[in-house]
Amino acid sequence: AEAFLPRLSAQIPVEINLPKVEQDWTAQEATGEDCAWFRLRNTLARLSLLQGFDELLCLPTLNDVNTYWYQVETVRKVLKQFRGRVLLADEVGLGKTIEAGMVLKEYLLRGMADRVLVLTPATIVGQWLEEMAVKFDIEFASSYDALIRRDPVAFWAQPRVIASIATARRAEHFEILRRQVYDLVIVDEAHHLKNRATSNWKLVDALQKRFLLLLSATPVQNSLVELYNLLTLLKPGIFKTEKEFRSTYMTSGKPRLPSNSDRLRDLMRDVMIRNTRSQVDVRLPPRTAVTLRVEAGGEEAACYQEVTRLVRKAHSAGNSNRRLALRHLVSSAGSSPAAAAAAIHRFAERNDPAPAWTDLHNRYGKISIGGKEAALIELLKRNPGEKKIVFAHHRHTLDRLDTLLRVENMAFARYNGSMSGPEKDAAVERFRDRASVLLCTESGGEGRNLQFCNTLINFDLPWNPMAIEQRIGRLHRIGQTRQVFIFNLVVRNTLEEYVLQILDEKINMFQLVVGEIGAILGEVEQEREFAELVFDAWIETTEQDRPSAFDHLGERIIDAKRKYEAVKALDERLFGEDFATG
């Protein structure tokens, strides 16, 4: 018998770069009518090539975005094959937000979209705002804006809005939104639309929209009916009834088991793209997290206890209008003495000028150096030549660290969200070429290449785990070639220590793929954000009962992780690798 070589499949990305011949023409100093006609014909030739989306206009306009072949092919497929109505179900960490942003930018550049609505969980509204502005040069209004409370009609009339879906679904906003007409609606974490009976699903169904992008790494969580609910948003009328879908695609009594897997996959090929890591060959280097628990000095520890006591007393008075301010006080006290002093001063001026607050402000002001500040200086001196990014959530903490590094004569750069574009570029350049430390706020570094650094120090810890994950994602992302080291500084017996115990010890957050923590917390945060649950566990319990309150919260998070892993396995069984762009 003849022996045949095995047939191998290959994926060879091809890119065509059209020459900018008009520049060559003008370089020859051609003038007059012939030159004008040539430019006109050249423009016509380029536009004829662009008609079928074979060349993406958005690619040269992106800011410091490393696009990969599968993302480019996904965008082409969304535009050409799916005609702008699709479920983007890439595995976590492969860049669904980038793909959605590229589709949006392409539609804007081609004049095919103007009015755009992005609906997301409340905790990532800021992340979407930042990515759209920095990476795509697209400015949005957001549900953070005061206008939404002052004049909801004027707010929703704006052409581009990013909003929390929890805000948008409220009755007073729902009625305004259903009268709006949108060219493109994007829904992140779209598995929250899995139930037709919920206000989330009803809102998206009621929106007048031409294009619709649904983003979810885990579109099926409990039952194949959830697919039916998503499909009817993308293709209204595709099924006459849910009963028809059940009888055609589902096994009776087994809601997760398709009656005919091949037929279900044929159906989903018309509405879904799902890239997996194994297909696109995306690998990241390992990362290692170390927690440094710091002993506060006697006065610093006593001041923190007094903050907790006064906040609990104010909280028990039942004034809900002060809740955000009280949260800020506890968060500031966990960050640094300087941040605590500033927050207490502002709170006393605006809310409660009682002597206890004034006395506490003065006590914090006399602390010469905080426990974490001393630990940071020691950490920075260990490998002075190794570049390190130091994240701090509070501005007064960043100011304090700025002063400390100057005293220690350490070369550093400073980066924060209020800086102009050229100032940010200069800060990154200084960090890359001359400084060993970058002091950074929460919004620092987004859209800029910082992968020449592989060490991150969390000087303080936001209570929102997605904010911590965003920090990690600045360094541990596609393009990083070295192992990433994360150092978490936390003072013993503080709220932040309890948060770290849950995130690190209970669910091993620092080993999760960037993006997974949001999926895990998604169900826990259906009604209240994680930060709110943490604040309650701290402030509504006595010192003796506090450990059990955080243990209970930790068990909820562990249970959520188990459910997420089960859902991830279910989606892998249902879809496998049959829906990739390649």
Q: Looking at residue 436, which CATH number applies to its domain?
A: 3.40.50.300
The residue range of the domain holding 250 is 59-281
Q: What is the mean pLDDT of the chain?
A: 87
Regarding whether 399 and 495 lie in a shared domain, the answer is yes
Residue 124 near residue 186, CB atoms below 8 Å: no
pTM of the model: 0.75
Backbone CA torsion sign across 159, 162, 165, 169: negative
Regarding whether 174 and 110 lie in a shared domain, the answer is yes
pLDDT-wise least confident of 15-24, 244-253, 265-274, 290-299? 15-24
**Count of structural domains, the chain:** 2
Q: Is the pLDDT of residue 471 over 90?
A: no
State residue 9's pLDDT score.
Answer: 60
State residue 513's pLDDT score.
Answer: 79
Which amino acid type is present at position 7? R
Regarding whether 291 and 257 lie in a shared domain, the answer is no
Q: What is the pLDDT of residues 474-486, one digit of tens each?
A: 888 777 889 999 9
State residue 143's pLDDT score.
Answer: 94
Q: Is the pLDDT of residue 124 over 70?
A: yes
In a domain, 37, yes or no: no
State residue 476's pLDDT score.
Answer: 85
Q: Which of 487, 427, 482 is nearest to 451 (CA)?
A: 482
Regarding whether 291 and 199 lie in a shared domain, the answer is no
Q: What is the pLDDT of residues 160-191, one digit of tens each?
A: 999 999 999 999 999 999 999 999 999 998 98
Regarding whether 210 and 96 lie in a shared domain, the answer is yes
Instruction: Extract the runs of DSSP E, i.e. beta strands, from 253-337.
Output: 254-258, 272-273, 287-294
State residue 440's pLDDT score.
Answer: 92
Regarding whether 187 and 291 lie in a shared domain, the answer is no
SS (H, E, C) 49-102: HHCCCCCCCCHHHCCCCCCCHHHHHHHHHHHHCCCCEEEECCCCCCCHHHHHHH
Q: What is the pLDDT of residues 200-247, one digit of tens each?
A: 999 999 999 999 999 998 888 888 999 889 989 999 888 878 898 898
Q: Is the pLDDT of residue 19 over 60?
A: no
Q: What is the pLDDT of residues 545-574, one digit of tens each?
A: 999 999 999 999 999 999 889 888 888 888
State residue 296's pLDDT score.
Answer: 94
- Count CB-CB contacts under 10 A for residue 462: 21
CATH code of residue 227? 3.40.50.10810
The residue among 251, 281, 311 that closes a domain is 281
State residue 333's pLDDT score.
Answer: 97
Q: What is the pLDDT of residues 372-429, one digit of tens each?
A: 999 999 999 998 889 999 999 999 999 999 999 999 999 999 998 788 778 888 898 9
Q: What is the pLDDT of residues 54-94, one digit of tens each?
A: 789 999 999 878 888 899 999 999 999 899 999 999 988 88
Q: Is the pLDDT of residue 23 over 50?
A: no
Regarding whether 291 and 271 lie in a shared domain, the answer is no
State mean pLDDT over 115-130: 90
